[in-house]
Structure 1
Amino acid sequence: MTQHLPRTVTVPVLVTRSLEIEEPDWCAGRHGGHAESKVDVTHYGLEHAIGAGDFNLLRAMLAQAPFAERATTDVVLYVEQQDLTGSYTPDEVEELADALVEAAARLRALSRELAAILARGDQ
């Protein structure tokens, strides 16, 4: 009779416990809900709604995933484009163009804020 020896396998499990991490001073205290693992932790700064007039164009905030394995661990400006899909009259197109110019100025200001944070080493 052949005797079979037990074999060992590694099975991934989700361990539920709190993780104490350092938080940068620019973080608004939101960390994207419950992280399943350390690489899922993301710091987010204050959210900036960027637009003008009736146009909500962008949403931007500082972000950092300090333990990321497949993305940068640097502090970055996370930007989301809002839905601009629609049909516009000539006057509305002019208003949209003005809003885009104003949004570009706000993005440039946030870029300078990010550059200052990076220069200080606040990561």
Structure 2
Amino acid sequence: MPRTASVDVLVVKALEVDEPEWCVGHGEDGAQYKADILHQGPDVTLTYDGHEVSVASLVQAPFSESSSTEPGVSLSLLGQTLDPAGLHAFADVLTEHAQQLRDLADELAALLARGGQ
């Protein structure tokens, strides 16, 4: 009687997945496994004085095995994906940082008004 063995093989074929209407497509996203599939919305580029500060977009990894499968917002400034509560919390922190920057601007203005001393 012939012996048999189980051998793991990688089969490459196209997989059709439901796509949310906000997804801008997948193109050459390089997903090798179902868990690698990432839906991404259009980028929202945050700039200041012609310089890119961060990019944000809706994202969803519907088959992820290591993170949430719910939609979130990817923020390049953090390198993280946030849920609504996390995004609001981050926006609150940015508001606090904005006040710190305003305070520094006032301190700098006063310093310059005294001749830099």
TM-score of the alignment, normalized to the shorter chain, above 0.5:
yes
Consecutive unaligned residues of structure 2, counting only runs of 5 or more, are 79-96, 99-117
CA RMSD of aligned residues (A): 2.6
Which one of the candidate residues 5, 22, 26 is aligned to 1:8? Answer: 5
Instruction: Specify the alignment match of 2:114 in structure 1.
Output: none
TM normalised by structure 2 equals 0.58
**Distance in 1 (alpha carbons) for counterparts of 2:58 and 2:28:** 13
- Displaced runs of 4 or more, over 4 A: none
2:73 partner SS: strand
Q: Do 1:32 and 1:42's aligned partners in 2 also have CA atoms closer than 8 Å? A: no
Gaps of 5+ in 1: 83-99, 102-123
Aligned length: 81
Deviation at 1:14, TM superposition (A): 2.0
Q: TM-score, normalised by structure 1?
A: 0.56
Larger Rg: 1 or 2?
Answer: 2
Q: Percent identity?
A: 29
Quick one: higher RCO (CA 8 Å, sep 6+), 1 or 2?
A: 1
Distance 1:81 1:32 in 2: 24
Amino acid at match of 2:37: V
Is 1:65 aligned with 2:57? no
* Correspondence list, 1:1-123, <5 A: 6=3, 8-11=5-8, 13-30=9-26, 33-81=29-77, 101=98
Aligned CA distance change for structure 1 residues 21 and 29 (closer, same or farther; 3 Å) = same
Q: Deviations over 1:77-98 (max 9, x none)?
A: 001129xxxxxxxxxxxxxxxx
> AA paired with 2:48?
A
